[in-house]
A and B are shown apart, each in its own frame.
Chain A
Amino acid sequence: MPENTGIGRPMKNKIKVFRAMHDMTQEDLAQTIGVTRQTILAIEKGKYVPSLDLAFRIARHFNVNIEEVFTYDEEVRFVEVD
């Protein structure tokens, strides 16, 4: 088992990169998958971890596997208590 090397949020995502590749705004993506722009912004900034359902919808929208959009860094200790 790897050691905890850092404190932060272990879930990272590349939504911003994929949006840029598809030339989409946050509003466009939000409308397409049926959430608010604030939710996309919160996910991109790591403030909110989406459900599996939403994560799959985002990945399917960009025609990629979920692991390509979302990555889990096991070496980062999750600190959120709530």
Chain B
Amino acid sequence: MKKNTFYLFIGCIALALLAIFWYSVEIHNPLLIEVAFILGIVIIYLTRRKVTDLIEDERSAKISEKAAMRTFQVFWVVFCAFSIGAVMQLLRVPSFPRVRNAEPPLNILPLEIMPLKLMGYVQLGLLCLMIFLYVGFRFYYARKYGDWETDEE
């Protein structure tokens, strides 16, 4: 398989996944898109092996490796900061009365636990952040290791 055919194939898979996504929204079945997404990625990985003119040498491997490592280094800090904030909402900090012999408050405020739906949006946001970080670092290292160098030839 040629490289361009492979890219077209990825586009087709993406379109199919988009259609399945909207269908699963309509029938209220998240399992459908989840299974379809995993299958789509597996098919892409398997098809990639059959591409003949896609040369991946040690320099491109190094670019990918460096970009992935830097993405991980930044992402875990952001993810950890967010997780700490989320845990803080789950923990109830005991409040002590400032005045002696003061009566404890009668009504305790309910815990502000993040709704499950909002959690999905946050996860999606973090995933987008990871993708943007990876693409950004990839551009940076590709430039650093001479991807867009030109010469007289």
Contact = CB atoms under 8 A, between A and B. Distances in A.
B24 interface: no
Contacts of B146: 38, 41-42, 45, 47-48
Using C-beta atoms within 8 Å of the partner chain, give the interface range for chain B: 10 to 19
Which size class do A's interface residues fall under?
A: 10 to 19
Interface of A: 25-26, 34-36, 38-39, 41-42, 44-45, 47-48, 50-51, 53-54, 82
The binding surface of chain B is classed by DSSP as loop
Interface of B: 55, 57-60, 62, 66, 144-147, 149, 151, 153
A36 B144 CA distance: 16
B153 A36 contact: no
B55 A35 contact: yes
B153 A42 contact: no
